[in-house]
Chain A
Amino acid sequence: MIISVASGKGGTGKTTVAVNLALSLKNIQFLDCDVEEPNAHIFLKPLIKEKTEAYIPVPEIDEAKCAHCGRCQEVCAYHAIAVLPGNNGQKGSVLVFPHLCHGCGACSLLCPQTAIKEANRDTGVIEIGERNNMQFVHGRLNVGEAMSPPLVRQLKKYINPTRTVIIDAPPGTSCPVITAVKGSDFCLLVTEPTPFGLNDLILAVEVLRKLKIPFGVVINRSDIGDGKVEEYCKQENMPILMKIPFSREIAVSYSEGMPIIKKDASYQDKFINLYLNIRAIKSEANSRY
């Protein structure tokens, strides 16, 4: 089973939930897909055994073959190619803007002259490690790189279906999140009882409904803020699977890179229960169809 942990708003406790859930269970593979700022390794402390570079395929034009027909520019959804037809007997030219390219491959596939090859552009690294029989994979996007989905996609190729896979997703509701949670069997939405938490939770719920991924809510710092998040969950008939009250102790241990369950062992049962609840929801959903 693949369980992803997401949130609309940043800083609600995705990594805290993902890491503690992972440490409470057995036969886990952990994927930190928040490649713009991966931080799960700080808590899981894996020993990195393998490192591979991540690439995105960008077009390389063979000027000798190119007829400047403009087909590549037409099919590029990201405006990463400019074809300038020549005039007055002057030869045209093709400009490629690699930083706008998403590596979809349409240009090279559809070039009538087969004048486009794909060249690899380095976007980051993937690191693979292990700790106490937990498999660990994360990606690190290069500083200044604007596009994370290709790296997230490459990272997800390492998913081990023989294990319970926990994906720590990036915050937000745009492409990087969608790429990270796509294909999950279940998604945990971590939120906080504030107007910001609620606003972004609603957006995240819309995304998951569109992706048809079953989900449940975890409310972090549940005893501060207001009751609007709970109200919303009730109204929308969404299960609240766990509440973590605010605790200075948890905050301190977080800042020291220590998981909650190492500080307060009673949390291990709570996270195991969370997992069992997810399984129950999943099997109920399966029997319904």
Chain B
Amino acid sequence: MKICVTSEGKTLDSRVDPRFGRCRNFIFFDTKTGDFEAQENTNAQFQGGAGIQSAQLVASNQVKAVLTGDVGPNAFQTLQAAGIVVFTGAAGSVKEAIEKYKKGGFTAVSGPSVVSHSGKQEMKK
């Protein structure tokens, strides 16, 4: 099964990027084979609609679950429509987040964890 982790860098040792829509990279990880692939998030600079575009990008990769820090309303709605389960509160390295996920350490969220444009505020800091 393929899952997606938002990441600051492009390796499994990179830190989890706490933002979803405006994260720097997506890491697509195959839980069966352990293979992974990193993809830069070109939607991060959008004035608006970054979450929606990112959710679509993730959906087009046939992902079943997303691990991230927080997710906004538009992204959540899009991910939900694509049938992707969202887990928030991920932190530390990508590898650690995946291990925690495999052990069932996350609970799926049933709604957005932050308001619109939270990731944009984060970028300004």
Contacts and interface: CB of A to CB of B under 8 A. Distances in A.
A97 interface: yes
B59 A84 contact: yes
B49 interface: yes
Interface stretch (B34-42, B74-82, B85-93, B97-105): B74-82
A189 B88 CA distance: 49
A82 B46 contact: no
A80 B81 contact: no
Contacts, number: 38
A87 to B, nearest CB: 7
Contact of B49 (A83, A84, A93, A100): A100
B31 interface: no
Interface string A89-127: 010010101001000000000000000000000000000
Contacts of B78: 82, 84, 95
A79 interface: yes
Interface string A64-80: 00000000010000111
Looking at B46, B50, B59, which has the most chain A CB atoms within 10 Å of its CB? B59
B52 to A, nearest CB: 5
B29 to A, nearest CB: 19
B59 A80 contact: no
Contact of B46 (A79, A85, A87, A95): A79
Nearest to B116: A99
Given A79-B46, A100-B48, A95 B81 contact: yes
B113 interface: no
Tell me what chain B mostly uses at the interface: helix, strand, loop, or mixed.
Answer: helix
The winner among A79, A83, A87, A93 for most chain B CB atoms within 10 A is A79
B62 A79 contact: no
A90 B81 CA distance: 12
Interface residues of B, number: 17
A100 B74 CA distance: 10
Nearest to B49: A79
A82 B55 contact: yes
Interface string A230-255: 00000000000000000000000000
B107 interface: no
Contacts of B46: 79
B6 interface: no
B56 interface: yes
Contact of B56 (A82, A87, A100): A82
Contacts of B48: 78-79, 100
29 contacts: A73-B56, A78-B49, A79-B46, A79-B49, A79-B50, A79-B52, A79-B53, A80-B52, A82-B52, A82-B53, A82-B55, A82-B56, A82-B78, A82-B81, A84-B56, A84-B78, A84-B82, A85-B60, A87-B62, A95-B52, A95-B78, A95-B81, A97-B49, A97-B52, A97-B74, A100-B48, A100-B49, A100-B52, A100-B74
Interface of B: 46, 48-50, 52-53, 55-56, 59-60, 62, 74, 77-78, 81-83
Given A80-B49, A84-B82, A90-B83, 6 more contacts: A73-B56, A79-B46, A82-B53, A95-B52, A95-B77, A95-B78
